[in-house]
Structure 1
Amino acid sequence: MAWSFSRSSLYRLLFLVMSLASQRCYGFRTFGFDVHHRYSDPIKGILGVQDLPEKGSREYYVAMSHRDRIFRGRGLADGDRTVLTFDGGNKTYRLNSFGYLYYANVSVGTPALSFLVALDTGSDLFWLPCNCTSCVQSLQSENGQDIKLNIYGPDASSTSKKVLCNSTFCEQQTRCPSSDSGCPYQIQYLSNGTSSSGVLVEDVLHLITDDNQKKEDDARITLGCGQIQTGSFLSGAAPNGLLGLGMRSISVPSMLAREGLTSNSFSMCFGADGVGRIRFGDNGSSDQGKTPFNIRSSQPTYNISITQIIVGGNTAALEFYAIFDTGTSFTYLNGPAYTQITTSFDSLIKENRHSSGSGEDLPFEYCYELSSNQTKFEVPVLNLTMKGGDNYYVTDPLLMIYDGDVPAGYCLGIVKSDDVNIIGQNFMTGYSIAFDRDNMILGWKESNCYDDVPSNSSKSPTNKSHTPALAANPEDTSNQSNGPPIRNPSTFTFMAVLFPLLAIV
C-alpha cells in the first residue's frame, strides 16, 4: 500500500484567538482555564478558518517530531482550597499545527492584553514576545491576510515593574552591569539556534476562581519580556509566548503558591476532542491513581517510576523512570522499555505491519495496514504499573492513518528515544492529571474534561476493539477515539509540530 502525504503549508494562521477571552475572577481557591487543540471546533470558530493544515499530513508529523526533539533539549489534598484559572476560562486547546500541544488564552498587564501561549510542564519561565527586535509579530491566514499578534510592552502596562539584578529570581547576575540594572534572561533550547532572551519584569496575570462565583484575582508574577526569539520560535513554535509549568520557583504554579493564592499544585485534563482544562491549586481527588515524584534538586522535573508493563496478556517486571511532559507531543521510550512494549504489541496484532520505503521518515516504527472496507480491528490494552502499585491504562496509544477520508492504517504512538523516557500528551489523553507538588505525587483519573464523569475507555483484560471512522471532516476529531489521524498517506514523514519548542526537557 502506498501511503503518501500532500504538502500543505503549516501554519498560516491561527491566532485571532487573542480575543478568546473575556471573563474574569479571583482568590485562594482553584484557578483554571480551558485548553484547546487547534483543530477543535472552538478554535476553528474563533479563527474563522476552516481550511487548516491537514492534521495527519506528512509535514504535520515531521514537524511534531522535530518540535519534540527541540523540547527535549530544555534544561530538563482534598478539602477546602482555592482553585484558580485564567480569566478567559479554564479551557485549553490542543493546536496540532503548532505542535499537537495545548494552548490557553491568558491576559497580562493593565490594561490587559491577551496572548495565546503554549503550556509546558517541561520548562519553568513564562515569557511573552515583548518590545521585540526578533519575534513573530503576525501570522498569515490562508487567504493571505496578516493576523497581528499582541506584543507585550512593559511601558504600556501601569502595573509593570522591572526586576532588578539583586532579585532572588535573577539567575544571570554575572551579566548585570550593576545591582540596580534590569535582570537579563536567556533560555537555550535543544533545537539548533533556538532561544528566547530579554529581561525579567513583574506584572499581573489575570485569574478567576474556577467555581460558580468567578471571583477575580490579579496575581503578581515574574515573567520574561522576550525581546529576541531565534530558531524555531521564528518559524511557528510558540509564536505568542510560552507558559512554563515546571517545579522551579520561577514557574507560575510556584509563584501562585508562594503568594498564598493556591495550594502548590495544578491539574490539566486532556480531552479526546482536543479541548482540555487547567486548574491551579487542584490536587486531584481522593479516588485518583497516584505515584510519587522522583526529584533531583539540581533539575527538578515531573519524573516518576514505572515498575511493570502489561501489553495484552504479556506482563514484564521492568522498572524505569519517565518524565510526564505536556510539552512533548508523543511518548518517547528507550532501551528495554521501548523494546518490551513494541515487540509485545506487535506480536498481538493481526494486521500486516507497514514496510517503510525510501523517503518515509515517520518516527513511528510500528505501523499497520487496514484492508479496504475493514470495519474493526483489535489492539492489546497497554497498562503501566506505577511505583506504589496503581495502574495507568493508556486509553488510546494509536494514531490513525487515512488515505483521503478512508481509514488506511494505524501506528503505535511511541517514538524510540536515545536518552530520556518521556510520557507525552498522547498517553495523557482521557485523563485529568494532577501535578501535586504539595505531596510530591502525580495523580490521574479518567475524565472527559467536561465534567467528573469518567471517559469511556472500556478497558478489557487483554484487548480493545477499535472501529475506524470515516474522516468526513479531516479536522474534526470529536468522534474519533483512535488518536490524531495521519492524513493522505503517501510518504510518511513526521511533522514534529510547528511547535518545536514546547517540549523542553
Structure 2
Amino acid sequence: MASSSLRRLLLLLLVVFVSTSHSADLPIYHSTHHPSTKSALDSVLLLARSDPLRLAFLSSKLTSVPIASGQQILQSPSYVLRAAFGSPPQPFLLTLDTSSDAAWLPCSPCNLCPSSSPLFLPSSSSSYTPLQCTSPLCTNFKTTISCSSSANLTPTPCTYTQSFADSTFTATLSQDSLRLSPDVIGNYTFGCVNSVSGPSSNVPKQGLLGLGRGPMSLLSQTGDLYKGVFSYCLPSYKSYYFSGSLRLGPVGQPRSIRFTPLLKNPHRSSLYYVNVTGISVGKVHVAVPAGSFAFDPATGAGTVVDSGTVISRFTAPIYSALRDEFRRQVNASSGYSSLGAFDTCFSTDEVATAPSVTIHMDRLDLVLPVENTLIHSSATPLACLAMAEAPANVNAVVNVLASLQQQNLRVVLDVANSRVGFARELCN
C-alpha cells in the first residue's frame, strides 16, 4: 500500500512538472552572412562597421528617460528568427536584440519604410488593437502627443518616436497575437511603425523582437510561460549553414553549466550587466589599472553581454593591456598590421598557435576558444585578434562581450534568478 501511494505521488509530481514546464526551440539565422561570396573576415569587418553606433547606445548615460524611450540609439543586430503577428498570422523575420525591450515592425500604411520591407496589415488581423494614450503601457514610451483626460474627446492612439542608428521612426503602440512556433502569445504589445525619417539602411527590414530585461521585453510579457529564462546559441562564421537556436523556457537548458550573477542598473535595466574581475591571456593575468572593470550604475560603466555588437570591445586601459600581452605571447617577427576595426593582425605563416583569452567573472571563468579569439582570412595567411577598443568619446565606459566571442556557446539568460551562464555547444 505504501509503495502504491508513493508511485501515485511520483506520478502526480511528474504530471504537475510537465504541465507547468514549457519550452520552445526556434532556429535563428544570420541576416547578412553569405559564405559562398564572403570570407568570415570580410563578413565580420563589414558588420563591425556599425559597432560604434551600438556602443553609443550601450554606453550612453540615461538617468531620467523611460526604459522603452525613443532616445534609444541602436544599430541593426545580425540575427533574425521567424515569427508571425496577427490572426490569421502574417510572417516576418524579426531581428533579435538582447539589449532592447519593445518589439516593433513596419505596418501599412508606412511612409518611407524600406521598399523591400513586408508590411504588417492591421486591417487584415481580427485580433489587432491599437492602444490609446490613456493606456498605462503608454507611459513606458516617449510619446509624440499629449493625452487629454476628457471623456468627451475622441480617444487618441498612443504614438511614440524612436531613434534607430541614423534614422527615426514613429509608431502606434498596439497589441496582437505573436506566434513563436509552436506558441501563440495573445495581446502582445508592440510598435506598429507608421513612418521613417532619415536613411533606413541600418533599420531592420522586417522589425525587431526585444529580449532585454525591461517591462516591455518578451520575457516580461510572457510571464509564467517561459518563467523568465531563455538561451541562444550562435554558430561559427565558418559554418556554411549559418543557423543557431533560440530556446525559450527552462526545459532543455544545459544541465552542466556555470553561472555568474547579473547586476542591476536602474538607469539601463534592459541590459545584461555582469561583474568581470579580470582578463587572462594564456596563463598570464593581464595587469590593468585598479577599478577598470568596476560597475557603476550612475555612469553606465561595467560589462554587458550583448548579441547585437559584433566584436567585443573594452575601454582603452583594458584593451591596450590585453592587446600588448597578446602581442608579446604571439611574438610575430614581422610585426602587426591593422585591418578595419582590428589593430593586431599577423601572418599565420610565422605563428603556428595563439594564446587563449579568459574572461574572469564572479564564480565563472569563461575560456574563449581560439576560434572565438582570432578571425582568419581565407584569401591570405592572415589572422587578427577579434577584439577592439571602445570608441574614444565621453561615454566610452562600457565593456561589451559581443556575438563573435559568444559563438558556439549556449548562453543562458536566467532573469528569474538574476544570472547568466555559458556552456560549450556546437551550434550548427
TM-score range normalised by the length of the shorter chain: 0.7 to 0.9
Matched residues in 1 for 2:353 and 2:45: separation? 27
Q: How much does 1:298 deviate?
A: 2.1
8 Å CA contact 2:280, 2:286 repeated in 1: yes
Tell me, in whole angstroms, the C-alpha distance in 1 between the residues paired with 2:406 and 2:38.
Answer: 24
Alignment of 1:201-350 (within 5 A): 201-208=174-181, 216-232=183-199, 234-257=200-223, 260-272=224-236, 273=239, 274-282=242-250, 284-300=253-269, 301-316=271-286, 320=293, 321-350=302-331
CA–CA distance in structure 2, aligned partners of residues 402 and 230 of structure 1: 39
Deviations 1:118-152 (A, max 9, x none): 111111111101121021131xxxxxxxxxx4211
**199, 207, 219: which is aligned to 2:172?**
199
Percent of aligned pairs sharing the same letter: 23
Shift of 1:236: 4.6
Aligned residue for 2:216, secondary structure, equals: coil
- State the distance in 1 between where 2:325 and 2:314 align: 14
**TM-score, normalised to structure 2's length?**
0.77
Shift of 1:444: 1.0
Q: Secondary structure at the match of 2:259?
A: strand
Aligned partner of 1:3 in structure 2 is none
Q: Are residues 280 and 229 of structure 1, via their aligned partners in 2, closer, same or farther at CA, if it must alter by over 3 Å?
A: farther
5+ residue gaps in structure 2?
1-18, 60-74, 150-154, 294-301
RMSD, aligned α-carbons: 2.6
2:45 and 2:257 map into 1 onto residues whose CA distance is: 35
Instruction: Give the structure, 1 or 2, with the largest relative contact order (CA under 8 Å, sep 6 or more).
Output: 1
Q: Highest Rg: 1 or 2?
A: 2
Give the Cα–Cα distance (whole angstroms) in 2 for the partners of residues 39 and 172 of structure 1.
31
SS in 2 for 1:182: coil
- How far off is 1:203 after superposition? 0.5
1:414-493 to 2 correspondence within 5 Å? 414-417=387-390, 418=392, 419=396, 420-449=398-427
The equivalent of 1:130 in structure 2 is 107
Q: Could you say what secondary structure the match of 2:341 adopts?
A: coil
Q: Deviations over 1:142-181 (max 9, x none)?
A: xxxxxxx421122221111111112222133572343531
Q: Distance in 2 between matches of 1:285 and 1:51?
A: 33
* CA distance in structure 2 between the aligned counterparts of 1:73 and 1:195, rounded to whole angstroms: 16
Alpha-carbon distance in 2 for matches of 1:275, 1:51? 15
> Is the Cα–Cα contact under 8 Å of residues 74 and 188 in structure 1 kept in the other structure?
no
- The verdict on how the C-alpha distance between 1:370 and 1:345 changes in structure 2, with shifts beyond 3 A counting, is same
1:101 aligns with 78
**TM value normalised by structure 1:** 0.66
Change over 3 Å in CA distance of 1:246–1:154 after alignment to 2: same
Q: CA deviation at 1:38?
A: 4.2
Establish whether residue 113 from structure 1 lines up as the match of residue 90 from structure 2: yes
SS for the counterpart of 2:50 is helix
2:375 counterpart of 1:393: no
- The structure richer in helix per residue is 2
C-alpha displacement at 1:222, in angstroms?
0.4
The answer to whether the 8 Å contact 1:307/1:317 transfers is: no
Which deviations, in whole Å up to 9, do the C-alpha atoms of 1:48-77 show, x marking residues without a partner?
A: xx97566544xx55542332222233376x
Any idea what SS the aligned residue of 2:325 has? helix
Does structure 1 conserve the Cα–Cα contact (< 8 Å) formed by 2:44 and 2:310? no
* In the alignment, structure 1 residue 156 sits paired with structure 2 residue 124: yes
Distance 1:53 1:381 in 2: 26
Alignment partner, residue 498 of structure 1: none
| TM-fit CA distance, 1:220 | 2.6
2:84 aligned counterpart, secondary structure: strand
Distance in 1, matches of 2:58 and 2:425, equals 31
Matches within 5 A, 1:26-175: 29-38=22-31, 52=37, 56-57=41-42, 60=43, 63-74=46-57, 101-131=78-108, 132-138=110-116, 149-170=117-138, 171-172=141-142, 175=145
1:380 paired to 2:361: no
Distance apart, 1:299 and its partner CA: 1.4
Deviations 1:423-481 (A, max 9, x none): 1101101111011110111111111136xxxxxxxxxxxxxxxxxxxxxxxxxxxxxxx
Number of the residue aligned with 1:459: none
1:326-378: CA deviation from partner (whole Å, max 9, x where unpaired): 0111111113321222111111114333334xxx6x1111111233xx7x720
Distance in 1 (alpha carbons) for counterparts of 2:314 and 2:362: 17
Tell me how far 1:402 sits from its aligned partner.
3.1
Q: Which amino acid aligns with 2:408?
A: G
DSSP-derived class of the 1:151 partner = coil
Aligned to 1:79: none
Alpha-carbon spacing, 1:411–1:250, altered in 2? closer, same or farther (3 Å): same
Question: C-alpha offsets along residues 364-406 of structure 1, whole Å, 9 cap, x if unaligned?
Answer: 11111233xx7x7201011111112x11011221111233xxx
DSSP-derived class of the 1:221 partner: strand
Aligned AA for 2:82?
N
1:37, 1:100 within 8 Å by CA — same for their partners in 2?
Answer: no
Q: Matched residues in 2 for 1:52 and 1:99: separation? A: 21
What's the counterpart of residue 6 of structure 1? none
